[in-house]
């Protein structure tokens, strides 16, 4: 299981603490240095049913681009942008083989899916 995280993100730190407290083994990956692949992002978008769930809409990068510009992007443009600008990706971003994803941290949801 891979956890894409950003060290300055308090939500990521809460997710890491939760995983450790529940003895769940994971590989911690700095999302800025090694973002999820385009294929991984596409699979997560398909699983969640909408690409909007991938977006860190409260972040500076998203606000600087503007929601209208992001909405007008094609899927291909958006996924390329997410890989180039990983701060746009909602985090933490958890991936398990067989196309299992958890995006963002909600303790109840993570408990339901991982415990």
Q: Is residue 16 part of a domain?
A: yes
Q: Record the tokens describing residue 113, joined without a space.
A: 């899916």
pLDDT per position as a tens digit, 35-54: 999 999 999 999 999 889 99
pLDDT digits 0-9 by tens, 68-94 = 999 999 999 999 999 999 999 999 999
Task: Please report the pLDDT score of residue 81 as a whole number.
Answer: 93
**Does residue 108 form part of some domain?**
no
The verdict on residue 24 lying in a domain is yes
Confidence of residue 59 (pLDDT cuts 50, 70, 90): confident
Overall domain count for the chain: 1
pLDDT of residue 88: 94
* Residue 70 counted as domain residue: yes
Domain assignment present for 53: yes
Beta-carbon neighbour count of residue 78 at 10 Å?
Answer: 21
Cα angle: 41, vertex 26, 92; to 5 degrees = 45
In a domain, 113, yes or no: no
Answer whether 0.85 is exceeded by the pTM.
yes
Give the pair of three-digit tokens for residue 48.
Answer: 């969640």
Task: Print the domain residue range for 33.
Answer: 2-103
Quick one: which of 45, 23, 21, 25 has its CA closest to 93? 45
CATH number at residue 44: 3.40.30.10
């Amino acid at each position: 299981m891979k956890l894409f995280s950003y060290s300055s993100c308090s939500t990521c730190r809460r997710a890491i603490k939760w995983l450790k407290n529940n003895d769940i083994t994971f590989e911690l990956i700095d999302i800025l240095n090694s973002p999820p692949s385009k294929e991984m992002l596409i699979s997560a978008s398909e699983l969640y049913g909408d690409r909007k769930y991938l977006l860190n809409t409260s972040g500076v990068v998203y606000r600087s681009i503007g929601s209208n510009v992001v909405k007008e992007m094609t899927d291909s443009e958006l996924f390329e942008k997410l890989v180039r600008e990983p701060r746009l990706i909602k985090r933490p971003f958890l991936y398990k083989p067989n196309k299992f994803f958890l995006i963002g941290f909600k303790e109840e949801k993570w408990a339901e899916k991982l415990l």
